[in-house]
């Protein structure tokens, strides 16, 4: 049996009237958003490379020995020590696989590290740090005997400015997110841990992401046209797949009215056929809403319990509604991935424990604090610095204000969630302390936190200085005329389960303005889960420096002190656009709010989110995507654009078979562009040189290259940006493939999406 889907496809033009129309009966919802059926589910065979085919050969051999009950056992979850535990097969010595959160550190365990959140990692624009992050995190997962790490995240991508989970992912730009997804996946899997890019796909908001959540009725349906789906939302997942990701998590909400874990177009079609996925699809927790339909649509394992499977799946195979091929494929994909990552040999024992029982301490932090501190500083973005206010010059007297400067939340309130979580929130409320991660299942659980105040306090003490503070007041007493600077720490919280209601808050804005009224050198640090508007005070003449500290992880205080004192020159760049007014985000400010029984969310903006929309509408942002200052200046020169040999009719060769990640020729380097960057100031620093490309019939400019380069004062280096076929292609909805177009392509190299220092063009001919 198959889910009843209508194959009727209608064009985007007739989609205008969906949300808010009061539909109470699904058959009345306009036809837009019917997902085309794609059956049967592709059978994995390890065709991507010889390593996968060897893993498949061994997996087939093992699955061949399994009974139907055993196959139905490893495709479901059980209660156990981990967040997710697959069924074991004791008879064949197959252990249960342990699945665990979170993308920025193992959640709910002791002796683990709290890494910066992935939005913070994205702000480094450093491919090297992205890899190191994945590798260190992977070592911790492995050390705890966890088989499957639930990350990295490219969904949500960050379509909605106030989306609750945007901070878990690697920015709303698909290219930046893709580079990060690929590097983190590779780093993690190099340690033998299975990575799980999530959530596949279009899980762009929290409101009504699940059925009967917030409002009674089905979950929201994200309806997006085919081209946008490929160029924006699937794009970063391709990089993870290309690097060999062993698992993919399907999402809670519906896509074209079909649930993420039973959408055959998304799972059988795009993921397993077009992108050649060899691993297994795991459901988000409780995201399964049917038995036969999910199996046939391509779901391979259900979490956290038996869901609609277990005995039902055995029955469904026996009565023919799920084929034997399908259940064999489900089991084979799981076992093949286990072999592929080498987990059948010498994998550590599960070292995950409940806090309520006396247990062994399995310490996995290693020396990761150093990397965390480095990334914490590297992802900090300096956006204002009047007259070289920063770095501080050996300060003797500082004042520190704001709830976000200190650790305040009682760790004994909920130890497993200290550092963020559903219950203990690091919001702007004065009862809350410094924020190092966001809330929900994506939170890390720090074993300790170095607060900003602690780190600054220590530096002042060493320098025999004086420090004064007030972490409570909205209007602090500030007659310290001798203070050299007033540091104000504020934050902007967000969590899984709900979207943000504002990109700012009155308490924090008043605090900054009140301090600035009496302090001519006011330095503001904003720890934020994403966009935080600053126009309530950004032009105040006494606000002399502003930093977006984002979500830096456990070494927060050391990371920010390194920047404030100039031990590290900032190099972070904004991974999103900070608008002057919240209304500048237009329809993409808020999540879609519908109280219908079958809520529809049409992504009518297409690929025009964040800077793509600001550029199209000519809206001047406060701080544009890619922007960030440092303690020196750089000059750009010498743009060189190669003559590409690429021809419109040369690609991609249909006789070459698909491997995981898509058509292999998509990754061929087809064009290269050089630029020279020089450090014209007196401080050594990293610069992130960025390449934007104007592709015909596309947004004005899209990020298609970046390099973070170290330049001593006076030093000059040549940067090379290699462009792949995919980087220059659009998704051709008629041909159903990535294709370059005939015409002129524009290229810009600069220091942000609007600070474009060099430009040139190249052509692709027929």
Interface with ligand NAG by CB under 6 A: which range of 220-228, 345-353, 448-456, 658-666?
A: 220-228
Q: Is the peptide bond before 304 cis (omega within 30 degrees of 0)?
A: yes
Rounded Cα–Cα distance for residues 423 and 726 (Å): 43
Whole-Å CA distances, 116 to 24, 34, 248, 373, 535: 43, 39, 22, 9, 26
CB 78 within 8 A of CB 309: no
Rounded Cα–Cα distance for residues 299 and 283 (Å): 7
Positions marked active-site: 284
Q: According to CB under 6 A, which residues from 455 to 494 bind ligand NAG?
A: 475, 477-479
Taking the complex as a whole, the smallest distance from the CB of residue 576 to ligand NAG amounts, in Å, to 22
CB 88 within 8 A of CB 82: no
Nearer to ligand NAG, 78 or 397 (CB): 78
First to last CA, the chain: 47
The two three-digit tokens of residue 712, written as one number:
């001593």
| 257 near ligand NAG, judged by CB under 6 A | no
Backbone φ and ψ for 250, nearest 5 degrees, come out as -85, 160
CB 41 within 8 A of CB 272: yes
Nearer to ligand NAG, 109 or 478 (CB): 478
Among 674, 676, 698, 741, binds ligand NAG (CB under 6 A): 674
Taking the complex as a whole, the smallest distance from the CB of residue 253 to ligand NAG amounts, in Å, to 12
Burial class (CB in 10 A: 0-12, 13-18, 19+), 277: buried
580 φ/ψ sector (left φ>0, alpha ψ -120 to 50, else beta)? alpha
Rounded Cα–Cα distance for residues 471 and 548 (Å): 19
| 96 near ligand NAG, judged by CB under 6 A | yes
Nearer to ligand NAG, 150 or 758 (CB): 758
Interface with ligand NAG by CB under 6 A: which range of 116-124, 158-166, 239-247, 314-322?
A: 314-322
Dihedral of CA 667/668/670/671: which sign? Answer: positive
| 555 near ligand NAG, judged by CB under 6 A | no
| 520 near ligand NAG, judged by CB under 6 A | yes
| 657 near ligand NAG, judged by CB under 6 A | no
Q: Mapped to the 3 state alphabet, what secondary structure does 247-282 carry?
A: EEEECCCEECCEEHHHCHHHHHHHHHHHCCCCCEEE
Rounded Cα–Cα distance for residues 420 and 443 (Å): 6
| 266 near ligand NAG, judged by CB under 6 A | yes
Contacts with ligand NAG by CB under 6 A: the residue count is 68
Taking the complex as a whole, the smallest distance from the CB of residue 158 to ligand NAG amounts, in Å, to 20
Interface with ligand NAG by CB under 6 A: which range of 28-36, 98-106, 160-168, 456-464?
A: 28-36
CB 286 within 8 A of CB 311: no
| 145 near ligand NAG, judged by CB under 6 A | no
Interaction pattern, residues 391-420, with ligand NAG; x per rule: CB under 6 A: ------------------x-----------
Q: Max Cα separation, the chain?
A: 83
| Full DSSP string of 688-746 | EEEEEEE-TTS-S-EEEEEEEEEE-TT-EEEEEEEEEHHHH-EEETTTTEEE--SEEEE
Rounded Cα–Cα distance for residues 517 and 481 (Å): 13
Among 37, 103, 306, 626, binds ligand NAG (CB under 6 A): 306
Rg of the chain over Cα atoms, rounded to whole angstroms, equals 26
Taking the complex as a whole, the smallest distance from the CB of residue 590 to ligand NAG amounts, in Å, to 18
Nearby residues of 323 by Cβ (< 8 Å), 6 or more positions away: 40, 317
DSSP class of 231 = I
Among 51, 61, 69, 212, binds ligand NAG (CB under 6 A): 69
Interface with ligand NAG by CB under 6 A: which range of 179-187, 311-319, 443-451, 611-619?
A: 311-319
Taking the complex as a whole, the smallest distance from the CB of residue 618 to ligand NAG amounts, in Å, to 14
Q: Where are the beta strands (DSSP E) in 67-179?
A: 84-85, 98-100, 148-149
Among 29, 35, 186, 334, binds ligand NAG (CB under 6 A): 35
Interaction pattern, residues 353-392, with ligand NAG; x per rule: CB under 6 A: ---------------------------------xx-----
Q: CB nearest ligand NAG: which residue? A: 427
| 192 near ligand NAG, judged by CB under 6 A | no
Taking the complex as a whole, the smallest distance from the CB of residue 393 to ligand NAG amounts, in Å, to 15
Among 354, 355, 635, 720, binds ligand NAG (CB under 6 A): 720
| 691 near ligand NAG, judged by CB under 6 A | no
The two three-digit tokens of residue 12, written as one number:
């985007």
CB 736 within 8 A of CB 230: no
| 741 near ligand NAG, judged by CB under 6 A | no
Nearer to ligand NAG, 6 or 680 (CB): 6
| 111 near ligand NAG, judged by CB under 6 A | no
Rounded Cα–Cα distance for residues 631 and 347 (Å): 46
Nearer to ligand NAG, 348 or 638 (CB): 638
Nearby residues of 90 by Cβ (< 8 Å), 6 or more positions away: none
| 712 near ligand NAG, judged by CB under 6 A | no
Among 642, 648, 656, 712, binds ligand NAG (CB under 6 A): 642
DSSP class of 162 = T
User: Which positions touch ligand NAG (CB under 6 A)?
Assistant: 1, 9-10, 25, 27, 32-33, 35-36, 45, 53, 69-70, 73, 78, 87-90, 96, 223, 225-226, 255-256, 265-266, 291-292, 306, 308-312, 315-316, 319, 321, 386-387, 409, 424-425, 427-429, 431-432, 475, 477-479, 516-520, 541-542, 640, 642, 672, 674, 718, 720, 756, 759
């Amino acid at each position: 049996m198959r889910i009843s889907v209508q194959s009727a496809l209608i064009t985007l033009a007739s989609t205008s009237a969906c949300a808010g129309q009061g539909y109470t009966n699904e058959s009345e919802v306009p036809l837009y958003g019917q997902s085309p059926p794609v059956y049967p589910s592709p059978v994995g065979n390890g065709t991507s490379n010889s390593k996968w085919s060897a893993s498949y050969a061994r997996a087939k051999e093992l699955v061949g020995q399994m009974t139907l009950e055993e196959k139905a056992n490893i495709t479901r979850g059980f209660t156990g020590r981990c967040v997710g535990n697959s069924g074991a097969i004791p008879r064949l010595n197959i252990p249960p696989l342990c699945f665990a959160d979170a993308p920025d550190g193992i959640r709910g365990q002791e002796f683990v590290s709290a890494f910066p959140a992935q939005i913070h990692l994205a702000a480094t624009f450093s491919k090297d740090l992205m890899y190191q992050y994945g590798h260190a995190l992977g070592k911790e997962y492995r050390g705890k005997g966890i088989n499957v790490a639930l990350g990295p995240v490219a969904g949500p991508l960050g379509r909605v400015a106030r989306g609750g989970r945007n901070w878990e992912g690697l920015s709303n730009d698909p290219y930046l997110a893709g580079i990060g997804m690929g590097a983190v996946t590779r780093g993690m899997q190099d340690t033998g841990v299975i990575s799980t890019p999530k959530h596949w796909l279009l899980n762009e908001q929290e409101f009504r992401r699940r059925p009967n959540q917030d409002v009674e009725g089905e979950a929201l349906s994200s309806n997006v046209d085919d081209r946008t789906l490929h160029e924006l939302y699937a794009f970063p997942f391709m990089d993870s797949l290309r690097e060999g990701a062993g698992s993919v998590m399907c999402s809670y909400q519906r896509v074209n009215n079909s649930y993420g874990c039973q959408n055959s177009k998304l799972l059988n079609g795009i993921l397993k056929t077009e992108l050649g996925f060899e691993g297994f699809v795991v459901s988000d927790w409780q995201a399964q809403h049917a038995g036969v339909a999910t199996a046939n649509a391509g779901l391979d394992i259900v979490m956290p319990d038996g869901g609609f499977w277990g005995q039902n799946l055995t029955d469904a195979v026996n009565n023919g509604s799920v084929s034997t091929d399908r259940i064999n494929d489900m089991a084979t994909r799981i076992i093949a991935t286990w072999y592929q990552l080498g987990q059948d040999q010498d994998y550590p024992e599960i070292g995950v424990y409940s806090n309520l029982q006396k247990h062994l301490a399995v310490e996995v932090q290693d020396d990761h604090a150093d990397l965390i501190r480095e990334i914490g500083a590297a992802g900090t973005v300096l956006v204002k610095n009047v007259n070289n206010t920063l770095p501080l010059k050996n300060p003797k007297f500082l004042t520190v204000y704001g709830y976000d400067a200190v650790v305040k939340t009682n760790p004994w309130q909920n130890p497993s969630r200290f550092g963020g979580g559903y219950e203990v929130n690091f919001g702007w409320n004065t009862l809350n302390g410094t924020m190092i991660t966001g809330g929900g299942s994506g939170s890390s659980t720090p074993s300790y936190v170095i607060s900003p105040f602690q780190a600054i306090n220590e530096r002042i003490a060493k320098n025999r200085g004086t420090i004064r503070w007030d972490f409570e007041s909205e209007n602090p007493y500030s007659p310290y005329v001798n203070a050299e600077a007033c540091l104000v720490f504020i934050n902007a919280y967000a969590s899984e389960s709900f979207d943000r209601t504002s990109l700012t808050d009155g308490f924090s804005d008043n605090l900054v303005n009140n301090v600035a009224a009496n302090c001519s050198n006011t330095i503001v640090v904003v720890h934020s889960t994403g966009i935080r508007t600053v126009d309530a005070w950004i032009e105040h003449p006494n606000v002399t420096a502003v930093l977006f500290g984002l979500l830096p992880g456990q070494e927060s205080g050391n990371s920010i002190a390194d920047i404030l004192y100039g031990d590290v020159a900032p190099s972070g760049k904004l991974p999103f656009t900070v608008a002057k007014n919240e209304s500048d985000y237009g329809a993409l400010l808020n999540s879609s709010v519908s109280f219908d029984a079958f809520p529809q969310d049409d992504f009518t903006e297409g690929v025009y989110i964040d800077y793509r929309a600001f550029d199209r509408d000519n809206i001047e942002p406060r701080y544009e995507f890619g922007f960030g200052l440092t303690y020196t200046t750089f000059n750009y020169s010498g743009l060189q654009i190669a003559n590409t040999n690429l021809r419109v009719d040369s690609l991609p060769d249909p006789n070459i078979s698909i491997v995981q990640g898509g058509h292999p020729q998509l990754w061929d380097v087809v064009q290269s562009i050089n630029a020279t960057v020089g450090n014209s100031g007196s401080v050594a620093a990293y610069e992130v040189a960025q390449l934007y490309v104007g592709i015909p019939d596309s947004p004005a400019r899209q990020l298609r290259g970046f390099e973070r380069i170290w330049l001593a004062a006076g030093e000059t280096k040549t940067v090379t940006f290699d462009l792949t076929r995919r980087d220059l292609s659009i998704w051709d909805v008629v041909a159903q493939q990535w294709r370059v177009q005939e015409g002129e392509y524009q290229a810009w190299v600069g220091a942000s999406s609007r600070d474009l220092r060099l430009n040139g063009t190249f052509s692709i001919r027929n």
